[in-house]
Structure 1
Amino acid sequence: MATANAASKTTMQRFLDGVEKVGNMVPHPVIIFLILIGIVIVLSAVLGAFGAAVSYERINPDTHAVEQASTSIRSLLNVEGIRFLYSSLIPNFMSFTAVGLMIAAMIGAGVAEESGLVTALIRKLVIVSPSWALTYILAFVGILASIAADAGYLVLIPLAGVAYLAVGRHPLAGLALGFAAVAGAFTVNMLIKPLDAVLVEFTNDAAHLVDPGRSIGLASNVWFSIASVLFLTVVVAFITDRIIAPRLGEYDPAAAEGGVQAQGATLSEQESRGLRFALYGLIGLLVVFLLLTIPSGAPLRNPDTGELIGNSPFMNGLIALIMLIFLVTGWTYGIGAGTLKTLAEVIAAIEKSIKNMGGTIFLFFVLSQFVAYFTYTNIGTVMALSLSGVLQAANIGALPLLIGFIVVVAIIDLLLTGAIAKWAIFAPVFVPLLMKLGVEPEAVLAAYRVGDSPMNAITPLNAYFALVVGFAQKYDKSAGVGTIVSLMLPYVVLMFVLWTGLFAVWKALGLPWGL
């Protein structure tokens, strides 16, 4: 990887170089997860033999009733465990939703990329945006991308790399910027998204243990979320411009397989016509979706409540809209620019994008086994409950307890990345505990959002971490796990510390969390 001149490097840059060097000495990600699978199997057998278990209260995700539960370590080397190892191989992979999301997104993205739409759009963005604003625009859009669930990982991150390359900056800095924005701020947005509905519902179930009449709404964290989006946009952009980009230095296209060249910002007449055609295609598609969503009783509204934003077919299937936007605009761009003229060429573009994912799909196969085995053993759940018990027993004030709660959630996020699964465990413990100390449930949920996000950008259990490694190798064939870890460490540390600081100030000033 091309880096800044050694003589001008700061202590932090030299430290990150060391992290990258050590990290890249580890084996291929597939081998890493095979080793981790072996560790989980052995560890489950040892802990299971000692009868490690923990009792707790949790919210039943189906009935939303608080119930007593007990979790013990389940061995993968006893009769039941061996049966699970053998019989779950294919179900584990088939239920790994990241695979389906990735393939669906790449159907559209492949057409958009092959037609030249992606490059033309990025160059148009470069033309109309001041150079200083590009980083901030990408960070802002990346944070908002969580409205489309995991689609931001598949769309925004590679686009950020292309955008940086288009302006002559190091594309790995663009990838790091995109990953930090999408993953590190995943639980906040300026809009209400499906995840909010689930988190709020679990929060209310837990709050009713103390006060049956106390409930919060979907917008209960909206002011804090909006402030967090704006604050983190500045933080991510600052880290990129002041730490990541200087460390990487000038980009050498020869580092990539076959060389990758930045293209000029000027658009040709064919490209301009293609963008106009793409705009027409986008407008036509949006008209169709407006007819499917806006009228009362529209097919994509919730059939029971009429809701559109929240729990509705539209929001639950948003990846389909993302796919169609890229597919339609990519094809119409190709017609206008003359790059994709026939349906056969469109199909060929889709096939090419799917073929290029062969290595990633195999990695996801191994990763899905590790996630399933780790979940089956209950190791992560027992660890989470043990840490929460220690924090619950601590005799400290409300704000220190909230900050301690944020730290515990962040630690556990390295092992349990699912926001809903963790909140189902933490909510009935910490919401009642803090309410008894005079802390409103909105504040507890806001604290959970802070703790649950930044670590997503560094944990290898994030299903898309390995995918980002693949994106990086497009620009630097020597890039590996260590490269991504060293790039993301400054984001993770500073986002966590500064965002926690914002939360503490917000709480100390008594500012409203939302509506």
Structure 2
Amino acid sequence: MTVSRPAAPSPSQKGFLGWIERTGNKLPDPVFLFLWLILGLVAVSVAASLAGWSVPHPAEIDPDTGQPRVIAATSLLSADNIRRLWVEMPTTFTHFHPLGYVLVVMLGAGVAEKVGLFGTAMRAGVRDAPRALLTPIVVAVGMMGNLAADAAYVVLIPLAGIIFHAAGRHPIAGIAASFAGVSGGFSANLLPGQLDALLFGITEAAVESTFGAFAANIAGNWYFIAAMFFLFLPVIWYVTDRIIEPRLGTWDAARAGTAHADEPADRPLTDAERKGLRHAGLAVLAVCALWAFFALGPGTPLIDEDASPEAQLTPFYQSLVAGFFLLFILAGWAYGRATGAISNHRDLVKMMAGAMEDLAYYLVLAFAAAHFVAMFGWSNLGLILAVNGADFLSHSGLPAWALLAAIILVAAALNLLVGSASAKWALLSPVLVPMLMLLGISPEMATAAYRVGDSATNIITPLMVYFPLILIFCQRWQKDFGLGSLAATMLPYSMALLAVGVAMTIGWVAFDLPLGPGAGVFTDVPFAPAASAAEATAP
């Protein structure tokens, strides 16, 4: 895939979002942008190190002194970091979190796409479906897809572009809606999943570090995240259909400069295509049956029966990326054999190789992004900013609703600097959770507020590890779609989700609604004078 430097957008793109798009698209190619960011990061790290920036770690004790371990800003020009940069360069790249997921899934998805399975299946699925219902369906599947963790990014989001294209709508609007559902609605779901287990495990440790034994409730945010699902769905639907898609205009394959054929969505299926879909459906059922056998059959290899109840399904969730790879490659093979697109195994191998060729630019971009993210961690600047932000909130004296709203905004801001949800919560929770408990606010409520802020800004920060991949998905449909275009497209979603999330949290506190089974907004103060506790627990 050839990717050109982003060009200036249409003159019809006016207003604030148009300014963001024009300004962003004037930036260098994303690869070089990350290189410039690395140079700026090096300069800041040197200045911070010379200035002696440091904070005590809220959760780690130095065994020699018995005091909290000090986190100090580290110069990226120090001997250790220079050595780490050159010695660990292959590891830094290959251990970049999304790289393995993307390569594995796209090996299979590339085959399914090149034989025409995706296009035919989506065309068959949307021929008689009202176009207006595509958006809520895509968004709902995206939010529920978070149960599959990282697989949702590399499977659902590109499929959404194909779905919208097959329905005669702008494919980038589909990608944006799905990205907003998967990433902007990262914590919104009808069911607790592995994210709940991960975050509440960190919450439990934060409580125990100050107050002793505490059993985290894995379903402690169930009602809250379900409410997020039902509130976020119409918000993303509205933003997509009333703001983003009208702004994008009508998609034109020739003007976009891509190789995608502009097929009508209502073209009748051929007999070969119908046969191919039937064979592909049987292959999908076979893979699903195989995974059910692995989870429920003898030995249950995908269920960790020795783990705690909330962690038993972790191997199953982690296996879904491999499951999607197998599903796509077998379904693609079955469809291709039925339609004649694949005649022998050599054709299959060529299509897998072609899928990797399409990812060539992403690999270059991932190399630069991986080093920026890694070096930001080496500098300790993200940790220092996170701990100082939590410290500021602990001394603010705000009432409960205002304090939780402030925590949401701080989490949203920190998400622009530290992408990992678990990493940020591991740093913030040892300060925020005990501090809020002393104010009479439950650990479950602290976790819920953090989740709102962490989700809203996922979709506008290039530091989110899948952000470069979403840009590639968009550029497959429109070659001049740059960083500014993606930021301008996703900003309305981010602002709307943040506003709705803050309002929802304030309302939850004001009405003291249950967050989940046995979990409420407020809790008994572990040890604090009765008078101050009563004052602090007032919403």
Q: Which range, TM-score by smaller chain?
A: over 0.9
TM-score under structure 1 normalisation? Answer: 0.93
Tell me which residue corresponds to 1:352.
354
Equivalent residues of 1:282, 1:329 under 8 A apart: yes
1:282-361 equivalence runs, <5 A? 282-295=284-297, 297-305=299-307, 310-361=312-363
Tell me which residue corresponds to 1:488.
490
Shift of 1:307: 5.6
Instruction: Look up the SS of the partner of 1:360 in the other structure.
Output: helix
Shift of 1:328: 1.7
Tell me which residue corresponds to 1:267.
269
Change in 2 beyond 3 A, CA 1:56/1:36: same
1:425-464 equivalence runs, <5 A? 425-464=427-466
Tell me which residue corresponds to 1:48.
49
Residue type matched to 1:272 in 2? R
Shift of 1:258: 4.6
Change in 2 beyond 3 A, CA 1:69/1:311: farther
Return the alpha-carbon distance in structure 2 between the equivalents of residues 307 and 272 of structure 1.
43
Residue type matched to 1:39 in 2? G
Return the alpha-carbon distance in structure 2 between the equivalents of residues 3 and 93 of structure 1.
33
Change in 2 beyond 3 A, CA 1:232/1:3: farther
Tell me which residue corresponds to 1:36.
37
Deviates more, 1:170-179 or 1:330-339: 330-339
Residue type matched to 2:173 in 1? A
Tell me which residue corresponds to 1:200.
200
Tell me which residue corresponds to 2:532.
none
1:108-123 equivalence runs, <5 A? 108-123=108-123
Shift of 1:205: 1.8
Residue type matched to 1:35 in 2? W
TM-score under structure 2 normalisation? Answer: 0.89
Equivalent residues of 1:139, 1:178 under 8 A apart: yes
| Structure 1: segments with no counterpart, 5+ residues | 61-65
Return the alpha-carbon distance in structure 1 between the equivalents of residues 86 and 489 of structure 2.
38
Residue type matched to 2:461 in 1? T
Question: Is 1:278 aligned to residue 253 of structure 2?
Answer: no
Return the alpha-carbon distance in structure 2 between the equivalents of residues 23 and 3 of structure 1.
10
Tell me which residue corresponds to 1:423.
425
Shift of 1:210: 5.5
Tell me which residue corresponds to 1:153.
153
Tell me which residue corresponds to 1:63.
none
Shift of 1:273: 1.4
Change in 2 beyond 3 A, CA 1:323/1:309: farther
1:376-415 equivalence runs, <5 A? 376-415=378-417
Residue type matched to 2:177 in 1? L
Equivalent residues of 2:101, 2:321 under 8 A apart: yes
Shift of 1:309: 6.4
Shift of 1:124: 2.2
Return the alpha-carbon distance in structure 2 between the equivalents of residues 155 and 287 of structure 1.
20
Residue type matched to 1:269 in 2? D
Instruction: Look up the SS of the partner of 2:476 in the other structure.
Output: helix
Shift of 1:419: 0.6
What do the CA deviations read for 1:357-376 (whole angstroms, capped 9, x no partner)? 11110111111111111100
Change in 2 beyond 3 A, CA 1:258/1:442: closer
Return the alpha-carbon distance in structure 2 between the equivalents of residues 93 and 31 of structure 1.
16
Instruction: Look up the SS of the partner of 1:58 in the other structure.
Output: strand
Deviates more, 1:259-268 or 1:104-113: 259-268
Return the alpha-carbon distance in structure 2 between the equivalents of residues 109 and 26 of structure 1.
31
Residue type matched to 1:407 in 2? L
| Structure 2: segments with no counterpart, 5+ residues | 1-6, 518-539
Return the alpha-carbon distance in structure 2 between the equivalents of residues 351 and 424 of structure 1.
40
Return the alpha-carbon distance in structure 1 between the equivalents of residues 229 and 342 of structure 2.
38
Residue type matched to 1:180 in 2? A
Could you list the runs of 4 or more consecutive aligned residues of structure 1 that deviate by over 6 angstroms after TM superposition? 1-5
Instruction: Look up the SS of the partner of 2:265 in the other structure.
Output: coil
Shift of 1:427: 1.0
Change in 2 beyond 3 A, CA 1:365/1:38: same
Shift of 1:429: 0.8
Deviates more, 1:391-400 or 1:189-198: 189-198
Residue type matched to 1:250 in 2? T
Deviates more, 1:252-261 or 1:450-459: 252-261
Return the alpha-carbon distance in structure 1 between the equivalents of residues 202 and 157 of structure 2.
31
Shift of 1:305: 3.6
Equivalent residues of 1:3, 1:248 under 8 A apart: no
Return the alpha-carbon distance in structure 1 between the equivalents of residues 246 and 199 of structure 2.
39
Instruction: Look up the SS of the partner of 2:127 in the other structure.
Output: helix
Return the alpha-carbon distance in structure 2 between the equivalents of residues 216 and 286 of structure 1.
32
Output the aligned Cα RMSD. Answer: 2.2
Equivalent residues of 2:111, 2:352 under 8 A apart: yes
